[in-house]
Amino acid sequence: MDAPRRPRTLTMADRDPPAHGDIDMDAVRQYRLARVRRGLAERDIAAAVLMDPLNIRYATDSTNMQVWVMHNPARYAFVPAEGPVVLFDFHNCEFLSDGLGTVDEVRPAISTNYFLAGPRFGERAARWAAELADLVRAHGGGNRRLGLDCASPLCAFALDREGIEVVDAGQVLEHARALKSPGEVACMRASIAAADEGMRRMREALTPGITENALWSLLHQANIEMGGEWIETRLLASGSKTNPWFQECGFRVIRDGDLVSFDTDLIGPFGYCADISRTFLCGDGHASDEQRRLYATAREQIETNLTRLRPGIGLHEFGQVAYDLAPEFRRNRYSVVAHGVGLCDEYPHVPYPEDYGHGGYDGVIVPGMTLCVESYVGAEGGAEGVKLEQQVLMTDSGPELLSHFPFEDKLA
């Protein structure tokens, strides 16, 4: 009888997009893991159990069916402030982390959601908690505070029965992810290059008669071709669907003279997000006066806010000094003035002044953060709307644009 075939050991060449071989991913991985460990130590947390696949990615760079495990929590990582990182992976997937210097040990995961555990989910949660509690006792130095980013209440209750104090790990990861290393910025530039190429193809293909879905598919194709991973939303709308915002693309046929607004929300090479918005005009005709007015307002909002964004400014202060959107556009305003970006939309979050009371918090914008500055301009009851967004790196001297995809000349 033949011996079982062992999976081929993965190499970094398998894992990293070949066009970006100049990025030192080992340095990126060690920087990110160190940020997590430092955050845990500063908050007196012995370790974190990470179940969000983006947090697992940040701390270890280990990936496995990223979108699927977002709704099927079938893998998790034990990351101590000091000690070995233990990754718990899906059935027969231990080999996927071969070669990663951020993972010391791989074990089979104990899945606790009902789909995978069925009526035995309580039993599995107890086993899950017991194994993790043993790791805390072995590597926590007597500290029994364990951070969770997202886990079922049943898992938290089971840890409590093991004598483990459960605390929130979300804040640790959000603040860790907020400051990017030069290598991370290089990874983000690779994702933005994929987004820029996708937008170029979309602009070239935009002619009357194409459907929204067909146009949107070109962004996906460019992203996958260039080593990207997925796109988080379907936020492309045309004509009357552009107002109000947040209508996703469908089979609507785009007509001559329609505005086409979109938000890339693209997870590209190395898992970094390119979050850029543009608005195009379909056809060879001239924009209407109203279309140009909407577009000019959105550009003015973006450009004004970029001039007011500086290192050291507080989140609340930035929201207060940001562009004052005219009353006719406030009802349909975008959800934020600006937000952080990394592996996805991340800390911080800067709401409009009128939204600060129920959604804002304090903090400071500092060099090393990557941010998206947002605008949506569409009057309540108006025919169309314009979505624009720029992604920037905060430097010691101010924001540096990361995407240079042009604005629409026909709408200027």
| Cα dihedral 318, 323, 328, 334 sign | negative
Closest among 290, 254, 240, 262 to 411, alpha carbons compared: 290
Which residues of the chain have a pLDDT value below 50? 1-5
Claim to verify: residue 167 and residue 205 sit in the same structural domain: no
Are residue 22 and residue 97 in the same domain, yes or no? yes
Residue 205 three-state SS = helix
| pTM recorded for the entire structure | 0.94
Q: 170 with 279, same domain?
A: no
Distance, CA of 129 to chain centre:
29
For tokens 């938000």, name the residue: 263
Q: Tell me, yes or no, whether 76 and 41 share the same domain.
A: yes
Chain centre to alpha carbon of residue 225:
20
38 and 167: one domain? yes
Rg (CA), the chain: 23
- pLDDT for 132: 98
What is the model's pLDDT at position 54? 98
Any domain includes 2: no
Q: In the prediction, which pLDDT does 20 show?
A: 75
312 and 384 share one domain: yes
Residues 130 and 247 in one domain: no
CB 275 within 8 A of CB 196: no
Residue 7 included in any domain: no
Q: Is 264 within 8 Å of 230 (Cβ atoms)?
A: no
Domain count, the chain: 2
Domain that holds residue 384: 179-411
Residue 12: predicted pLDDT: 54
pLDDT score of 14 = 65
> What's 400's domain CATH number?
3.90.230.10
Domain termination site, one of 126, 153, 177: 177
Q: Tell which residue, 317, 264, 277, has the closest CA to residue 408.
A: 277
Count the neighbouring beta carbons within 10 Å of the beta carbon of residue 387. Answer: 26
